[in-house]
Amino acid sequence: MSSALAAAAAPAVSGPHLAYVSRSAHFEIIANVDPHISLRVLNYFAQRDLVPSVFRSRRVRERLEMRVVVPGLSDHDASVIAEKMRGQFAVAAVTLEMMVG
């Protein structure tokens, strides 16, 4: 295989952060109903050029229940994002769980 083909076949992700590729950060967010809160939550990922693989939101009375899954996010970055979400005025609770697979 030529070196150009080998480079094209190589994974786009390399280096020490490879350990995070098979892990996903699962965020569960409970927030007061606010027309902008979903965008504010998603903006934390957009600022890092990340696109969640799952985003679900449902209204239950005067609360929004959101679920966001982001593959390949490190424990540290996920914790920082969760803490920033907790600082939002409309957010009542954020639960973060790191899952393999």
Structure tokens that stand for 49 in this block: 């050029």
Contact of 81 with 98, CB cutoff 8 Å: no
CATH superfamily of 28-100: ACT domain (3.30.70.260)
Structure tokens that stand for 64 in this block: 């929004």
Contact of 53 with 71, CB cutoff 8 Å: yes
Q: What is the pTM of this model?
A: 0.77
pLDDT of 22: 78
SS3 18: helix
pLDDT of 56: 98
pLDDT averages per 10-residue partition of the chain, 101 residues: 42 47 91 96 97 97 98 96 97 97 71
**Could you count the other beta carbons within 10 Å of the beta carbon of residue 67?**
15
